[in-house]
Structure 1
């Protein structure tokens, strides 16, 4: 049986074309609208309608809801820590050393596999849709959408910089200035395909940071991203001379930390349905808490 979402047109939206209403008010993508049109999945007051028809106050719009038939990954039993969940999305706390989703030769053991199993146990079938990524060694907040429309809305917020991501990092050195913006482009490394580098003709990359604590030879800093280039934080920190501790690719390995000292501490976004701003936080994991304590002890 087909399932429809129902919307009533408000007076302030009267005069918009149906296509404008779908795109700007309900935030359906152009591709999704085309697909719904082919499926005869858009009804206005119970009837099929042209997209250029202007809507009126109190019109009732019904839009076909897609029914996912598979998860897109193989469900696998494993632990997931849910920081936030509603009908449209989840925020999970990713542990270090775990991939967000299958890639290359790795098809199991990812956060996506474990989430698929978690939803399967609840009788929920939905494609696993990560809205953004974290490196394997980075811990913290990852957002997953439960349907394609929610994914589109959240990805638009990411593009428009209204979805905000905050990170904590331990770096080598006393950062100066203590707060600043790093605005240098990033592109592929000229000789190593799996690395990125600062390049004059690379993609724009903007990272804001400020210092939370300084120790004898290290600093704990908070970073906010305007862009999401691969390895952005790690490349930018190395570029300004304060490499990430524990990072064997761009930073400095240490005997007392077995992975890069980077944690996605929070995400902020506007709720898919009511646009209320929500902030979700992930506590600093035990290994990074110990690393901070170690830096503090060297300070005393």
Structure 2
């Protein structure tokens, strides 16, 4: 038997959720069976999978101590846009993974762990991710309560994510793209399909020049590659996005990645632990590849 004490980061969480997080290699069926049989005990007593744990309670389980391996700290700069004791918002550069794909790969999360450690035993954890080649704002929670609160706030639509893109063509002033999307996991491509999940993107044009439009995109839903797939589907592929736009996306030969940037995070009324974020608006400056394509007189947009 192994026994551990519930930390403040897991206060109020369900027993089964905490065990799944600590022992990801143990099948869920085995965890549930151990709880039902009484092999998992909270303060010496049988418990239910949905039992809410409290800080300081002792939990015993029929498995070895959980692995302490987590995201490996990686040296490297972190462009911090906002930080307090609960959370951090970083401006991720294009080309950097949000979180590592292996123990040795560089990532934004690995750099955050190296810089800010594991305060109170809680490893900094990303609340959401961006694709490797998407630049812009990413949130990381620095304690368990904040991770749960931020995740709930995102589900409840209290956190608004807006992206800037450069597309090929003269995009209309504003509109909505309401097309269901399905992802092919084998090819890692998202496509419009009536069998897919509902996906809604709102957009507005900011600037037009030559054969390009700079536009702001708001994700109402959050499907994989949603903005890229939606824009390609209506005939306005993102500059540099050969995967969805084909060769036409190479209209500007210096685009080495899709020109998609997570520009803004806005917060509505946030819960008590995160009340300082209420009505806050965070902006990530435009990256160099955007600035190189935009007309010189628009430099102030950055």
Interval of TM-score (by shorter of Structure 1 and Structure 2): 0.7 to 0.9
Over 3 Å counting, the alpha-carbon distance change for 1:34 and 1:81 in structure 2 is: closer
Match of 2:273 in 1: 273
- 1:109 is aligned to 2:106: yes
Match of 2:150 in 1: 154
Contact 1:267-1:281 at 8 Å conserved across structures: yes
Ranges in structure 2 where 5+ consecutive residues have no aligned partner: 20-40, 44-49, 59-65
Return the match for 2:176 from 171, 176, 181: 181
Q: Which aligned runs of 4 or more in structure 1 are off by greater than 4 angstroms?
A: 2-5, 28-35, 62-66, 68-71, 122-125
Return the match for 2:139 from 143, 147, 170: 143
- The alpha carbon displacement at 1:259 in A equals 1.3
* Aligned-partner Cα distance in 2 for 1:107–1:199: 37
Equivalent residues in 2 for 1:48-67, closer than 5 Å: 63-64=55-56
Equivalent residues in 2 for 1:126-275, closer than 5 Å: 126-176=122-172, 178-189=173-184, 193-251=187-245, 252-253=249-250, 254-269=252-267, 270=270, 273-275=273-275
Return the match for 2:94 from 96, 101, 105: 96
Contact 1:244-1:260 at 8 Å conserved across structures: yes
Taking structure 1 as the reference length, the TM-score comes to 0.73
Return the match for 1:119 from 95, 116, 119: 116
- The alpha carbon displacement at 1:75 in A equals 0.5
SS at match of 2:238: coil
- The alpha carbon displacement at 1:244 in A equals 0.3
Taking structure 2 as the reference length, the TM-score comes to 0.73
* Aligned-partner Cα distance in 2 for 1:31–1:185: 36
Question: Deviations for 1:39-76, whole angstroms, at most 9, x for unmatched residues?
Answer: 56xxxxxxxxxx99xxxxxxxxx84599x995721111
- The alpha carbon displacement at 1:107 in A equals 4.0
Question: Deviations for 1:234-271, whole angstroms, at most 9, x for unmatched residues?
Answer: 00000111100011211212312211111001112336
SS at match of 2:128: coil
Contact 1:94-1:142 at 8 Å conserved across structures: yes
Contact 2:71-2:103 at 8 Å conserved across structures: no
Ranges in structure 1 where 5+ consecutive residues have no aligned partner: 6-25, 41-50, 53-61
* Aligned-partner Cα distance in 2 for 1:4–1:243: 48
* Aligned-partner Cα distance in 2 for 1:289–1:75: 32
Aligned residues: 254
Over the aligned positions, Cα root-mean-square deviation in angstroms equals: 3.5
Contact 1:216-1:295 at 8 Å conserved across structures: no
